Each structure stands twice: as structure tokens, then as C-alpha cells.
Structure 1
Amino acid sequence: MRAVGREVDWKALRIEVLETFTPGPPINEVAEFAGRKAIIQRLQDIAIEKARHAIIFGERGVGKTSLANIFYKDLNSATRMVRDIAVDADSLDSFDSIWRKVFRRIRWPADNATLDNYYPGPIEPDHVFLELSKFGQNEAPIIIIDEYDRISDETCRVLMTDLIKALARAPNNPTLILVGVADNILQLVRDHGSIHRNLVQIPMDRMTSDEIKDVISTRVRHLRMKITDDALWRVAYFSAGLPFYAHSLGKYSALRAVEVEKLQIDEALVLSSLIDCIADVDYTIAESYTRATEKIYRKGNIFAQVLAACALTENNDLGQFTAAAVEGPLSEIMGEPYEVSAFSFHLNQMTNPERGSVLRKTGARRTFQYHFAEPAMQPFIIMKSLEDGVLRPDVFERFYVKRQKSFSI
């Protein structure tokens, strides 16, 4: 017990905060996966139905791996035992090598060796079909192949399609779950039309404001703490729909509360935790930001201001924005009118490796659209710009209120 009467064991509470918010490792319990309830139910239905498989795809950092790792956790029953096998693909994988990884994790009761030892030659789709068919009728084999987008071998993708077709005839009910970073299924699966009835698309968008608030509120209640509505709004805004930021901000806000021996997280504590969240971000994000905004040859520039304006800009459902849309935020940041001609050079430069390739440009001349190459970059820019003074609090507040109104719809 960390509390006796009105006395709080603040050291024990600090440990509990660190165990409750997990920005690093994927979540591994269904009960902890606040938000995404509808997707979890859909995946569970797929695992129970016969001859159905799933492909989970979307932006990096939206929680695909966590979802794949937990959706089946409460499917065990008196008549069904889940047999889960999860492997990661890499850029050198072939059909043989990816299934050899799976077979290394299978050992039949009567065998002395793992399954891969019985296949000295290349593993083929029919071999996989026969081995997965050996699972008992009361077993539910679920094979998860994460990082599927890293496979560059086209033959592997074709053979995976052949396997999915073949598994429709399996006497039991094995389920294959593919997970990868992609905008659409065509980037991951070949000849998708021939297996559209068997392979269910599970696109994962960023979490909604309500889902982010659910993530935070669930964990704060678990800690027997409280969080104000304004503080929840701040976390939802800064998280930009990405679970990592929700967990990181939740963790550091709660730790700040523990430091001052408060059981309620308020807006000020969330804002004071930004510097800790910035330090928590993946090194590649921080490095790309530095390269994008660095002053070459000691000359002053406005790359940091342009990037901050991009982060505040209204975008479409695909996260894209036009150069013209940057004019308003940049003019506010600079304190004087700025038209596209004054910063189009900066936008184009930030699509190049020399400036960290933080932006990507699509479309044709005069209709170019820009978006952040990494989803985690946009919230990082806002937090870093506030911390460094590039973005003044009064400017941020004006755009914060505007964005929050649209975010709550």
C-alpha cells in the first residue's frame, strides 16, 4: 500500500507512475489498451472466423505493434487456447527466411528439435500450410509478422498471397496478421484482389482526442490521482494522436505532480513536463530537427520559424498543407506579413537530406502539398519551439485555441 489514511508514500507512487505510463515498450495487456476498442474487437472477430486474416497498416508511431501484440490476449477460453507466434521482418527476408523464424518458435510435443530443422531446403507455402494444419481444433494459432513493409523481395510477397489463399482450406483455423508502415494495402500486398475476401484491411489512423484522453484518464485513475480538463486538452493537443507522446506527457506530468506532492495534474504541470518529453523523443527526430534548423556558416536564417509555422498549420485528412497555408502562422511568429515568395526556398530546402528531409513534397508546380516525413516530428517541433523561444506563448495560444476547436469536433 502506498497510502495510509491521508499519508501518501510518494516514492512508491513515483514507481507506480513509471510502471503505468509506457512510452517505450509496446503495451501487452488488453485492459491497458485504452482507445482502439473497436479495432481490437474487429481483430478478435477475424481470429475467430474461419479463413480470415488481417493486415494492419498506417503511419509510423500510431500503435500498430502494440495492437497486434495484445488484441488476442483475452481470447483464451475453456475450449480455445491461443498459440501466438510473433516475428519481425527485415530488409533481407525472403519467404523462406521469414517462415524459418516462425518455425524456430514451433516444437511439436513428439519432436526433439524446432520445426525449422526439418526443412533443409527452401520453405514453400505448402510446407507452411501443412505445419499450421497440425495445430489442434481447440488451438488458435495466430502468426504475427511485424515490420512487413521492410520486406523488399517481391517473390516473398507473391508467395505470401499464395499462402493466404491456401490457408482457406486449412482444417483448423490459423490466423495470419501482417503489420507494416504504409499509406495503403497495395504498398504491402501483391495481387490483393485475389485474396480480398480472406485478407481484411485494418487501417490505423492516429488516435482521436477522446481516445488520447481515455488513455490518460484510465491510467490517472489507476494511480488514484486526478487530472483537470484543461490539462487533458493540453496532452491531447501535444500528442497529435500519437500514443508515444500521450504516454510520455502523461508520465512526466504525473512525475512532476509527485515531485511537488500533489495528487492532481493541472495545466501548468503538463506545460512544465514538455522539456522532459522532448528529451524522451527518438534521437533521429531530434537530429533531423537540428539539421533542418541549423545555422550554416554562422549566418542567421528563419528555418526554425518556418518549421514552427508548418507545425501550426491547418492540414487535410492526409496531414498535408500548402505553402499558402503557412503564411498566417509564420506572419504571427515573425510579427510582420510573410508571403510564400519569402519562404518557399525554406520549404523546398527542408525536403532535402542536407536539411534532414523533415518535409516531403507531392503534387505538381503551383499545387504542391507538403507533409512531415515522420508523424512524430510535428508535435516535437511545437514543444521544442516553445522551449527555445522560437514560438511565443501568445502566438501558440491563439493557434492552440483554434486547433482545439476543430480537434474536438
Structure 2
Amino acid sequence: MPVQAVGPDEVGSRRNRVMVARAFDSAHPVRTRDELFGRSKELEVLLSATLDLGQHVIIHGARGSGKTSLVRIYGDHADGQGAIVIYMACEPGVNFAELVRPYLHALPATALAPGERSSFRDGLAALPESFGPRAFVDLVAERVSGQVVFIFDEFDRITEAPVKAEIAAAMKLLSDSLASVLFMLVGIAHDVADVIDCHPSLRRHMRAVPLGRIKSDSVKALIDAGEKSAGLSFNDDARVVITRASCGSPFHVRLFCQHAAIAALAGGSSSVSDSDARNGLHSAILQWAAMNNEDAQHFVSLVEHEALLPEIERIAHAAALGDRLPANVGNATTLLGDALVAEENGQSFVFRDSVAPQFLIAYAILAEAAIASNRADRLGGLINAATL
């Protein structure tokens, strides 16, 4: 079969879509310091806590808040100041030894005191298959001479209480022994905070850094930078739609911008309009609904009721900004049902899919626009999005 030639227009269109995907990449951590928006204060806190004060750190925030991006850029800065940063993502079901052993093997010789390198290698080889915090600290306390930070990303995947308790014990022992090895734990707020509860005296040896939403000026700067990189522009109305739906979540800003820009390109324009932004929301909803059809169907049933739209958006907005809902927030539990799960304290609720509140707002925006245009079939596209 002959190969059909690809025309220059198609090649150019594909190139433009690739540029947009890179400019508003929501699927990967940021690659450079210039791509990290709204986190300069948190970055300075991390650098000061670890490099100046020798404190362990817990970073917590919702999915999409940019935790991994922040710690990777932190690693670049810390490396530039002479520290050794070893980053790994946690896996569930491991014990303490299985969790920390890869970090020990990853330590470069430059992190060790010159006279202790052979001793460290021998000690590491002699560790039993299963060992605890004391053996770990005994191995590194006197042998590691440079400033070293072990980053445990996705620490919320560690659910076993004994492992969390041993991590807390190791952090305390490292601080008490004046070791130059620090732990940085990164994960969802209520899970990571459990480590502190395991060892309350850790509070004086560590810093907690919460990641909330980025401010509106940082959202603007993120979109501005993406415009330049992708070679297109977002008009003011498009920015309003995206800012309203994303609620300051870097993940959602990038995702909605990417889909809106692709919608504009599909229409032959290099300027993103409010119509393109809404088409982008719809396209992003389709992508999300394919992985969360149950909540998507429920959200459609909610936005079918015009009178509920303001209350729905108020609830979703509160959850998006605070990552949780107090039990007394309006009719949240009645309206959202199984889309919410109660936290252990019984005083608050969270969306079972932590990125869902912004998609619920996106549904409300599309329903609102369709109502304003008096379209009888205004929810047809939304229903399709919920029944993939």
C-alpha cells in the first residue's frame, strides 16, 4: 500500500499542537526554574530550612498543587549550593529497610568523609535484609560529611503505620546525632501529617510547608509564559474562564489552557477566545470523565438544574481552595453524595477524586453558557462527556 504524503499544512498543525502541549504541559513536573510559578516563597523556605537550619521538611498539598515540580526545582537550587539531593518516589507495601536502602546505594562517594568511604561500603553490604532506624542512622551519622537531602515523593503511598513510625524515629535520631542527612517527605496533607503524630518531639526538628493554590498574578504569569512559548495569545475573556475554573491549581491552569489552545488551533486561529476556552473545558472534561465516569455522570445530573448552579460552584470552589469541606458547608453532602468521603475526624469531607472540584466548576460554566445561549440541547455535550 502506498504511503500517503503528509502536506505542509498538516505538518505545521502538528508542530503547533506539540508546541502547545509543551508550553502547557500538565502531565509532567516543570523542567526549569522559569516554569515554576507562584512558589518562590515556598522555595525559599525549603532552602532556608534544609541548607541553613538543618531541618527535615514535610511538604503537603492536594494533587495538582505542584509538589513534585517544587521539589525538583529545589533540587536544582540545592545542588547549585553544594548539597547532594537524592529524589525517589515511594512505592506502597515496602518496609523501612526497603524504603531507605535505595537512597543509601545512591549516595555518591563525594558525600562521604574521605576516610569513611570504605567503611560505609562495608557497612552497607553488612546491613541485614530488614533493618530499622537505628542501624540506618549508625551507618550514615559519622560517615556522611556533606549536606545530603533524601526526598521521599508520594509519601502518602506509604500507608503502613509501623513504617511511618520508623521514618519518624529515623528523622529524630538523625537530628539528635547531628547527622548531615535530612529527610524531605512529600505527599497529601492528612497522610504526611501522620508522621508528626508518630513522634511529637519532631516538631522542633522540622518544617511543614503547605502548598495551597497559586495567586491570580501567578496564574496570569503562567498563562503569559505559555503564550510566548506556544506562539499564541489568550484574550481577556478566555483568561477569565480558565482562571475561574482552575481556582489557582497549576495542574488545572495548564490543562485547561492546553485544551483551549488546541481548540483555537483547530479553528484556524492563533488567538484563544472565550468560546475556545469553553471548548477546552469540554475537551478536558472528556479526558477526565474517561477515568472517573461515576463522578462525571453525577456532575451532569447536578448541573441539569439551573437553580443549583450557584450553590454547586460555591461548594466546589470552597473545596478547590481548601482541599476539604467542613461538614456544615451548605448542602454539600446532600448534593455530592458519594463524590465526597468523610475524613477520619468526622468534621470534614474531601472529594474522593481530589482534582474533581475544578471539573465540577467547568461543568457549571458550560451549563451556564449553554443556558445563556438558549440552547435546548445545552447538556448534550456534557452527557456525552459523562458516558464515555
Which amino acid counterpart does residue 45 of structure 2 have in structure 1?
R
Q: CA deviation at 1:155?
A: 2.5
Residue 31 (structure 2) aligns with? 28
Q: CA deviation at 1:245?
A: 1.5
CA contact (8 A) 1:257 1:265 kept: yes
Residue 218 (structure 1) aligns with? 225
Q: CA deviation at 1:131?
A: 4.2
Residue 359 (structure 1) aligns with? 340
Query: Would the alpha carbon gap of residues 135 and 258 (structure 1) be closer, same or farther in structure 2, given more than 3 Å must change?
Result: farther
Query: Would the alpha carbon gap of residues 267 and 116 (structure 1) be closer, same or farther in structure 2, given more than 3 Å must change?
Result: farther
CA contact (8 A) 1:252 1:273 kept: yes
Residue 76 (structure 1) aligns with? 79
Residue 4 (structure 1) aligns with? none
CA contact (8 A) 2:20 2:261 kept: yes
Work out the percentage of aligned pairs sharing the same amino acid: 18
Q: After superposition, what is the alpha-carbon deviation per residue over 1:150-177, rounded to whole angstroms, capped at 9, x for unaligned?
A: 3233222222222212222556632211
Structure 1 CA distance for aligned equivalents of residues 242 and 285 of structure 2: 14
Residue 203 (structure 2) aligns with? 196
Residue 360 (structure 2) aligns with? 381
Q: CA deviation at 1:395?
A: 10
CA contact (8 A) 1:35 1:207 kept: yes
- How do 1:7-406 residues align onto structure 2 when only pairs under 5 Å count? 11-77=14-80, 80-90=82-92, 92-106=93-107, 108=109, 117-133=125-141, 134-137=143-146, 140-168=147-175, 173-183=180-190, 186-281=193-288, 283-290=290-297, 292=298, 303=302, 305=304, 310-313=311-314, 318=322, 319-320=324-325, 325=330, 347-348=333-334, 350-351=336-337, 357-360=338-341, 372-384=351-363, 389=367, 392-394=370-372
SS in 1 for 2:75: coil
Structure 1 CA distance for aligned equivalents of residues 274 and 214 of structure 2: 21
SS in 1 for 2:159: coil
CA contact (8 A) 2:168 2:196 kept: yes
Structure 1: runs of 5+ lacking an equivalent: 1-7, 295-301, 327-343, 352-356, 397-409
SS in 1 for 2:244: helix
Structure 2 CA distance for aligned equivalents of residues 394 and 361 of structure 1: 36
CA contact (8 A) 1:54 1:177 kept: yes
Query: Would the alpha carbon gap of residues 390 and 226 (structure 1) be closer, same or farther in structure 2, given more than 3 Å must change?
Result: closer
Which amino acid counterpart does residue 247 of structure 1 have in structure 2?
R
SS in 1 for 2:58: strand
CA contact (8 A) 1:43 1:71 kept: yes
CA contact (8 A) 1:308 1:382 kept: no
SS in 2 for 1:76: helix
CA contact (8 A) 2:89 2:152 kept: yes
CA contact (8 A) 1:125 1:162 kept: yes
Q: CA deviation at 1:350?
A: 4.7
Structure 2: runs of 5+ lacking an equivalent: 1-10, 111-116, 375-388
Q: CA deviation at 1:180?
A: 1.8
CA contact (8 A) 1:103 1:115 kept: no
Q: CA deviation at 1:349?
A: 8.1
Q: CA deviation at 1:232?
A: 1.6
CA contact (8 A) 1:135 1:172 kept: yes
Root-mean-square deviation (CA, aligned residues, Å) is 3.8
Query: Would the alpha carbon gap of residues 240 and 123 (structure 1) be closer, same or farther in structure 2, given more than 3 Å must change?
Result: same
Residue 399 (structure 1) aligns with? none
Which amino acid counterpart does residue 394 of structure 1 have in structure 2?
A
CA contact (8 A) 1:239 1:245 kept: yes
CA contact (8 A) 1:253 1:269 kept: yes
Query: Would the alpha carbon gap of residues 188 and 125 (structure 1) be closer, same or farther in structure 2, given more than 3 Å must change?
Result: closer
Q: TM-score, normalised by structure 1?
A: 0.72
Structure 2 CA distance for aligned equivalents of residues 349 and 227 of structure 1: 34
Query: Would the alpha carbon gap of residues 350 and 169 (structure 1) be closer, same or farther in structure 2, given more than 3 Å must change?
Result: closer
Query: Would the alpha carbon gap of residues 358 and 391 (structure 1) be closer, same or farther in structure 2, given more than 3 Å must change?
Result: farther
Structure 2 CA distance for aligned equivalents of residues 379 and 113 of structure 1: 50
Q: TM-score, normalised by structure 2?
A: 0.75
SS in 2 for 1:71: helix
Residue 3 (structure 1) aligns with? none
**Structure with the largest fraction of helix:** 2
Q: CA deviation at 1:38?
A: 0.9
Structure 2 CA distance for aligned equivalents of residues 44 and 270 of structure 1: 37
Residue 383 (structure 2) aligns with? none
Q: CA deviation at 1:391?
A: 7.5
SS in 2 for 1:85: strand
CA contact (8 A) 1:89 1:146 kept: no
Which amino acid counterpart does residue 360 of structure 2 have in structure 1?
I
SS in 2 for 1:26: coil
Q: After superposition, what is the alpha-carbon deviation per residue over 1:357-385, rounded to whole angstroms, capped at 9, x for unaligned?
A: 202458999xx976533332222123345
